[in-house]
Amino acid sequence: MSQAQGGQEKQSATEKTNPRARPRMRRRLKVAHPERCIGCLGCMFACSRIRTGTVSLQNSAIKVQTQGGIEGDFRVVVCRACADAPCARACPAGALEKKPDGRVVYHRDRCTGCGECEKACLVGAITLGKEKRPIKCIHCGACVQFCPHGVLELEEVPSEG
């Protein structure tokens, strides 16, 4: 998941250069209107394309799931950016580090691929990929740009600390 780290760097770069970035706020992805989803999977492709540089469903941190096929309703699974993040708490290796501002940052070099993070997240937002490394949302908002129906929003929430 070296690509995921690349994405992480990109995020901080954006933050530095973004003149609109106010201090003490952080961005959080939100599923504002799940019932408007048409199942195009554009968000998933955007996530893997922009965050990891691959064409893949598997590498996407956002997941559009079906319940009973496309006759049923879609379920859009995203990271909720929990204030007291269970994934970070569950990580025995310190690979998921909770920053003072509330963000959870992934350190690939510390990760053992044990999967405790995946077990800790009831939502199912963090999952182990093929290489047994977590696929984790960085709240970059790439998916939001490719949702044709306004299902997703990027909101700003007060950071902690």
> Nearer Cβ to other proteins, position 28 or 48?
48
Residue 137 contacts residue 78 (beta carbons within 8 Å): yes
Least spacing, CB of residue 102 vs other proteins, in Å: 30
Pairing label, strands 63-66, 74-77: antiparallel
Q: Quick one: tokens of 97?
A: 């580090």
65 binds other proteins (CB under 8 A): yes
Which candidate, 57, 49, 53, 135, places its Cα nearest to that of 96? 135
49 binds other proteins (CB under 8 A): yes
Least spacing, CB of residue 148 vs other proteins, in Å: 4
- With CB under 8 A as the rule, give the number of residues binding other proteins: 28
Which residue from 64, 140, 144, 152 is in contact with other proteins, where contact means CB under 8 A?
64
Residue 123 contacts residue 108 (beta carbons within 8 Å): no
- Interface of this chain with other proteins, residues 20 to 39, rule: CB under 8 A: 38-39
131 binds other proteins (CB under 8 A): no
Which residue from 9, 22, 23, 68 is in contact with other proteins, where contact means CB under 8 A?
68
Phi, psi of 63 (to 5 degrees): -130, 125
123 binds other proteins (CB under 8 A): no
Report CA torsion sign: 124, 130, 136, 140.
Answer: negative
Q: What angle do CA 36, 42, 47 make, to 5 degrees?
A: 120
The residues binding other proteins (CB under 8 A) are: 38-42, 45, 48-50, 53-59, 63-66, 68-71, 130, 146, 148-149
